[in-house]
A = this chain, B = another copy of it.
């Protein structure tokens, strides 16, 4: 998606070590009109998968998941990383390594909002190692739901996430696919 790639080149910061800082429009400050355009684009690309629910992980996935869900007219569930007091005792819980936190984090979904037979579209901000998305897929499968698609705003193809997600056998769409981040540069390419 041209608009997102241009914004990454203009405002994204390659901090080295494969870390891309997009805090000025995705992760801390959000450009809501860009996020809305990304949501519209995901809705267009996944129009055919007949999803019944959008699933993401707090925190940074919420904005793109909500705008995607607006354009698809579907509810969105965000997996919590801590169990709030309003959640029942019995939950779906899995562990996933957090890139930015350097440790395992919990991903928790209440059975109230992920039912047997749902068709789940996973949306997240980044597709890097794919471990968070695999965790979301495990939660959906535990609930008897079926993953029907995976969308990420930004893919870092060199971290191997796309390969890790291949066994799920669903369409994977990223709106900006980064093939290299060497020498402080950001290079886009084709995920395939």
A: residues with CB less than 8 A from B are: 13, 15, 19, 21, 23-25, 27-33, 35-36, 58-59, 62-63, 66-67, 69-70, 73-78, 80, 82, 84-87, 100-101, 109-110, 112-113
Contacts and interface: CB of A to CB of B under 8 A. Distances in A.
A23 B110 contact: yes
B28 A110 contact: yes
Q: Which of A13, A28, A75: most chain B CB closer than 10 A?
A: A28
Contact of A86 (B27, B58, B84): B27
Given A58-B58, A59-B62, A112-B24, A69 B30 contact: yes
A146 to B, nearest CB: 18
Interface of A is mostly: mixed
Contacts of A21: 86
A169 to B, nearest CB: 26
A73 B15 CA distance: 29
Contacts of A82: 101
Nearest to A73: B33
B86 A15 contact: yes
Nearest to A74: B32
A51 to B, nearest CB: 13
